Amino acid sequence: MDALIKSMLDQKKWAVVGATANESKFGNKIYKKLKKFGYEVYPVNPMYQEIDGDICYSSLSDLPVKVDCVDVVVSPERAMETLKEVMELKIENIWFQPGTFTPEIVETSEVAGVNTVYLNCVLVELDKR
Q: Which amino acid appears at position 122 of this protein? A: V
Ordered by start, the domain boundaries in the chain are: 2-127
Give residue 1's pLDDT.
64
At 90 the pLDDT is: 97
pLDDT in tens, the chain (129 residues): 699 999 999 999 999 999 999 999 999 999 999 999 999 999 999 999 999 999 999 999 999 999 999 999 999 999 999 999 999 999 999 999 999 999 999 999 999 999 999 999 999 999 998
Query: Which amino acid would we find at residue 109?
Result: S
User: What is the amino acid identity at position 123?
Assistant: L
Question: Quick check: 75 and 105 in contact, CB under 8 A?
Answer: no
CATH code of the domain occupying 2-127: 3.40.50.720
Question: Can you give the pLDDT at residue 129?
Answer: 84
Task: Give one DSSP letter per residue of the chain, joined into a string.
Answer: -HHHHHHHHT--EEEEET--S-TTSHHHHHHHHHHHTT-EEEEE-TT-SEETTEE-BSSGGG-SS--SEEEE-S-HHHHHHHHHHHHHHT--EEEEPTTS--HHHHHHHHHTT-EEE-SS-HHHHHHT-
